[in-house]
């Protein structure tokens, strides 16, 4: 049974279970192999392993043996992150007209996307913020970089800083302090305690 989300942007938790046939049918188009190399024979096994790992918030090495080798799941997860699969899937579950069955997978997709943020970087944070899916972020929004705020305000701040050149210290110092505070705000915290990550 799904619990209710206590805060806007946080998805209801869904405990791990093997994918159903209907869920797999919905997900398969996102994971179809394209390009060089061998096609994957068992997408279900890889997805079950990946969703288990991300919902249990542990190390890949803790993956149960019946779900396959942990290093294979980890490697495939990273490949899909580099190909933009988790970003595309996050956009799909956030779409207003998404099928209800796909919406039920939102928590798992958010958890997978959150783990992929190490690869996706600031653009991943920007995407999750714009979609309003805070469960896809690895910490509270106020502790994370805010690329959109930076894009909007940086030209103004730089203009003010340039205006400080040649000004007396009484005028320049408050402006430079404000610029420094702005940098801290939009740059996010270097370290976010794991306990503050969304559920």
The average pLDDT across 119-137 equals 87
pLDDT at 41 exceeding the cut of 50? yes
* Residue pLDDT, tens place only, 52-93: 999 987 789 999 999 999 999 999 999 999 999 999 999 999
What are the CA-CA distances from residue 169 to residues 44, 162, 181, 182 (Å)?
Answer: 64, 14, 18, 19
**What's the farthest any 2 CA atoms get from each other in the chain?**
70
Q: Which pLDDT score, from 0 to 100, does residue 175 have?
A: 73
Copy the structure tokens of residue 86. 């988790």
Domain ranges of the chain: 21-138, 140-199
Q: Which pLDDT score, from 0 to 100, does residue 168 have?
A: 77
d(CA 45, CA 27): 13
Q: Whole-number mean pLDDT of the chain?
A: 80
Model confidence band, residue 183 (pLDDT cutoffs 50, 70, 90): low
Query: Which of 38-42, 60-64, 159-163 has the highest average model confidence (pLDDT)?
Result: 60-64
Of 116, 161, 123, 158, which is closest to residue 144 (Cα–Cα)?
123
Of 66, 31, 32, which is closest to residue 52 (Cα–Cα)?
66
Q: Which residue has the higher pLDDT, 70 or 170?
A: 70
Q: Radius of gyration (Cα) for the chain, nearest Å?
A: 21
Matching residue, tokens 């801290």: 184
């Amino acid at each position: 049974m799904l619990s209710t989300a206590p805060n806007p942007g946080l998805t209801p938790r869904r405990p791990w279970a093997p994918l159903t046939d209907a869920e797999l049918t919905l997900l398969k188009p996102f994971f179809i192999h394209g390009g060089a190399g061998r096609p994957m024979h068992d997408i279900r096994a890889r997805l079950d392993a990946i969703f288990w790992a991300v919902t249990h918030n542990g190390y890949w090495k803790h993956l149960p043996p019946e779900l396959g080798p942990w290093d294979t799941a980890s490697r495939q997860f990273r490949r899909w992150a580099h190909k933009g699969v988790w970003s595309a899937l996050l956009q799909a579950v956030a779409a207003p007209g998404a099928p209800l069955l796909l919406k039920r997978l939102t928590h798992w997709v958010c958890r997978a996307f959150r783990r992929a943020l190490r690869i996706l970087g600031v653009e991943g944070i920007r995407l999750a913020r714009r979609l309003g899916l805070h469960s896809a972020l690895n910490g509270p929004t106020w502790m994370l970089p805010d690329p959109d705020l930076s894009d909007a305000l940086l030209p103004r701040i730089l203009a003010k800083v340039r205006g400080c050149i040649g000004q007396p210290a009484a005028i320049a110092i408050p402006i430079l302090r404000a610029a420094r505070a702005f940098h801290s705000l939009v740059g996010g915290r270097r370290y976010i305690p794991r306990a503050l990550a969304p559920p």
